[in-house]
């Protein structure tokens, strides 16, 4: 799956979009683009455990493949059956664990819901570090894009969260995701910033005492 790195022109476009959007609002927009939000190294382990359970289930349904040449009622042979099962489980676990450990396959097999949760968690971490309570009026907002997952998040500071219903950010998200899927991450970020700025200008219009408290430039992780 392609990753969409921003070009210098993209960076300039997003920075200009943030500056333009903030000219109409006291709100402060922070933009972050991450190549990927998580390594998903736990996913191969999950598939490995699933393989062990599958081997166990197959043995439960039909154990004849464990009993070839053995008397299953013999105590000695029963230990052999259990040993064969244990070896089969270990082989299945290791084979699946290392196969799914391959980066592209690991990413492809990671459930979309898992990706969505990890992207959201990373966005929240970035928001807490870079935007939360960093403005005097608590009007910071983060636009976060994870390019490999092709997922985005908008997370707002306390004052914005109270004043703007979450569903109002839908148009900004739709504009961003559509452009990202077309391979135009920079255009998508700029369009989303413009949509966010329009919403903020309605609720938190520019005042004469407003100062630029957060950087306009896009942050790349």
In a domain, 59, yes or no: yes
| 1 part of a folded domain | no
Q: Are residues 85 and 20 in the same domain?
A: no
Same domain? 81 vs 131: no
> 22-36, 54-68, 103-117, 207-221: which range is least confident on average?
54-68
67-92 pLDDT, tens digit per residue, is 555 555 555 566 777 777 888 889 99
Same domain membership, residue 99 and residue 149: no
Is 3 part of a structural domain of the chain? no
Average confidence score pLDDT of the chain = 85
Are 69 and 171 contained in the same domain?
no
Evaluate if residue 2 carries a pLDDT over 50. no
Residues 24 and 116 in one domain: yes
Q: 68: domain range?
A: 42-108
* Number of domains into which the chain is organized: 2
- The first and second tokens of residue 150, run together, are 């092709």
- Whether 59 and 126 map to the same domain: the answer is no
31: closest CA among 161, 169, 146, 164? 146
Shared domain check, 190 and 163: yes
Contact 30, 219 (CB under 8 A): yes
Answer whether residue 134 is part of any domain. yes
Judgement on whether residues 92 and 180 belong to the same structural domain of the protein: no
Residues 176 and 142 in one domain: yes
One domain, residues 149 and 50: no
Residue from 185, 220, 186, 219 nearest 9 by CA: 186
- Cβ neighbors of 6 (< 8 A, separation 6 or more) are 14, 33, 185, 186, 189, 218, 220
| Confidence (pLDDT) at 3 | 52
d(CA 136, CA 87): 62
- Give the separation between CA 189 and CA 142, rounded to whole angstroms: 12
Q: What angle do CA 92, 94, 98 make, to 5 degrees?
A: 120
Do residues 88 and 143 both lie within one domain? Answer: no
For residue range 175-206, what is the model confidence (pLDDT) as tens digits?
888 888 888 888 889 999 999 999 999 999 98
- Please tell me whether residues 48 and 28 are part of one structural domain: no
Give a yes or no: residue 2 inside a domain. no
């Amino acid at each position: 799956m392609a990753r969409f790195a921003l070009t210098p022109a993209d960076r300039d476009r997003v920075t200009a979009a943030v500056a333009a959007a903030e000219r109409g609002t006291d709100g402060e927009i922070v933009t972050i683009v991450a190549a990927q939000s998580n390594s998903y190294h736990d996913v191969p382990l999950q598939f490995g455990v699933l393989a062990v359970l599958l081997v166990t289930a197959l043995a439960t349904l039909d154990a004849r493949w464990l009993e070839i040449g053995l008397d299953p009622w013999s105590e000695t042979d029963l230990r052999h059956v259990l040993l064969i099962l244990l070896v089969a489980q270990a082989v299945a676990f290791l084979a699946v664990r290392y196969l799914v450990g391959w980066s592209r396959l690991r990413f492809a097999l990671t459930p979309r819901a898992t990706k969505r949760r990890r992207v959201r968690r990373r966005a929240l971490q970035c928001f807490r570090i870079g935007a939360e309570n960093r403005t005097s009026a608590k009007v910071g907002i983060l636009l976060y894009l994870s390019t490999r997952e092709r997922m985005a998040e908008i997370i707002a500071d306390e004052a914005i969260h109270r004043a703007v219903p979450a569903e109002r950010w839908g148009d900004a998200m739709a504009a961003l995701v559509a452009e990202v899927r077309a391979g135009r991450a920079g255009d998508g970020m700029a369009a989303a910033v413009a949509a966010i700025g329009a919403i903020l200008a309605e609720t938190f219009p520019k005042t004469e005492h407003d100062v630029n408290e957060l950087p306009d430039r896009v942050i790349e992780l």
